[in-house]
Structure 1
Amino acid sequence: MFKKGLTALFMLLSFSASAVPTDDIAHILSEQQAAWNRGDLDGYMQGYWNNEKMRFISGKKIRYGWAETLAAYKKNYPDKATLGQLKFTINDTKMLSNYAAIVVGHWQLTRAKDKPSGVFTLLVEKLNDRWVITHDHTSD
C-alpha cells in the first residue's frame, strides 16, 4: 500500500511539474503582448534572452543578438500607429525537456489601415532560472 501511495504521489508531482512550465511560457507571450500594446518595445523584449546569441528570423533576414533585434523593432515600428494592437494565439507548446520547449502559434496586428498576420515558432529555454525566448522564427 505504501509503495502504491508513493508511486501515485510521484506521478502527481511529475504531472504538476510538467504543467507549470507551459503556464510560465504562455505568461511570457502574454506579457509581451501587453507591452507591445502599450507601445513599450523595451518591455516587449524582456521575453527574449538578452544575449548576442539570441536568434530572430523573419522574412529573408536572420538577426543575432538581443540589441540588434530591439534596434530592428524600433526602426520598423517607430510609433504607436505602426505598432497597432498585437494578439498572440498559441497553438501548441511541446516540452522538449524540463528546460526547453517549442511554441507554435499565430500573431496578428490590428492597425487603422491593415491587419497583418502570420505564424511563429519559438524555442523557449529556462536559463538562470528564467524562461526566455532564445530563437524566434516569425513569418507572414
Structure 2
Amino acid sequence: MFKKGLTALLMLLAFSVTAVPTDEIAQVISEQESAWNRGDLDAYMQGYWNNEKMRFVSGKKFRYGWEDTLAAYKRNYPDKATLGTLKFTIKETKMLSNYAAIVVGRWQLTRAKDKPNGVFTLLVEKIDDRWVITHDHTSD
C-alpha cells in the first residue's frame, strides 16, 4: 500500500514540475491575443509586468515602463480597424529556470487593408506568483 502511494505521489510531482510552466506561459500569451481581438488593450497589457523597468523594443525604439507601453499601444492602435485580428504563433519556449523563460514566435495582424506580421522574443518571468512579460523585442 505504501509503495503505491509513494509511486502516485512521485508521478504527481513529476507532472506538476514538467508541464505547468510552459502551459501557464502559453496561457498568458493566449489571453493577450484574446484581449487584443476584443479591442481591450488594458486587458492585453495584463500579460506584461506592471513596472517601470518593463522593456519593450521595436523598430529602432526602446520603451521602458508599463504605463508608457500602454499609452503607445493606445496611440498606435486607436480603434478596432487599426487593431485588426491578432494571431500569435509560439515557435519555442525555453525554460531558463523555474522562474524565467524565453519565448520565441511570430505575430500577424489581419486588417481590411493589410496583414502586417513579424517575430517576437519575450523574456517571461514569474513575479509575485504570476508569469509576466518583462522584456518584449518585437520586429516586422
Same fold by TM-score greater than 0.5:
yes
Partner of 1:58: 58
State how far apart, in whole Å, the 1-side matches of 2:14 and 2:68 are. Answer: 39
CA distance in 2, matches of 1:57, 1:18: 30
What's 1:85 paired with? 85
Mapped partners of 1:6, 1:61: distance in 2: 54
Q: Name the stretch that deviates more: 12-21 or 115-124.
A: 12-21
Runs of 5+ unmatched residues, structure 1: none
- Give the Cα separation in 2 of the matches to 1:11 and 1:96: 23
The offset of 1:16, in angstroms, is 2.9
Task: Measure, in 2, the Cα distance between the counterparts of 1:137 and 1:7.
Answer: 43
Distance 1:95 1:6 in 2: 28
Matches within 5 A, 1:38-49: 38-49=38-49
How far apart in 2 are the matches of 1:6 and 1:121? 40
For residues 11 and 122 of structure 1, the distance between their equivalents in structure 2, rounded to whole angstroms, comes to 31
Letter in 2 for 1:52: E
Whole-angstrom distance in 2 between the partners of 1:94 and 1:10: 24
Instruction: Tell me what 2:136 maps to.
Output: 136
Matches within 5 A, 1:60-79: 60-79=60-79
Work out the percentage of aligned pairs sharing the same amino acid. 83
Q: What is the identity, as a one-letter code, of the residue corresponding to 2:70?
A: L
Cα distance between partner residues in 1 of 2:36 and 2:80:
9
Please give the per-residue CA displacement for 1:62-87, whole angstroms capped at 9, x wherever unaligned.
00000000000001001100000000
Contact 1:107–1:120 at 8 Å: present in 2 too? Answer: yes
CA distance in 1, matches of 2:13, 2:52: 36
Gaps of 5+ in 2: none
Give the Cα separation in 2 of the matches to 1:6 and 1:119: 45
Q: TM-score, normalised by structure 2?
A: 0.92
What is the one-letter code of the residue matched to 2:27? H
Q: Give, in whole Å, the separation in 2 of the partners of 1:18 and 1:96.
A: 13
Distance 1:18 1:71 in 2: 37
Q: What amino acid maps onto 2:113 in structure 1?
A: K
Aligned residues: 138
When the two chains are superposed, the root-mean-square deviation of aligned CA atoms in Å is 1.7
Identify the residue that residue 36 of structure 1 maps to in structure 2. Answer: 36
TM-score normalised according to structure 1 size? 0.92
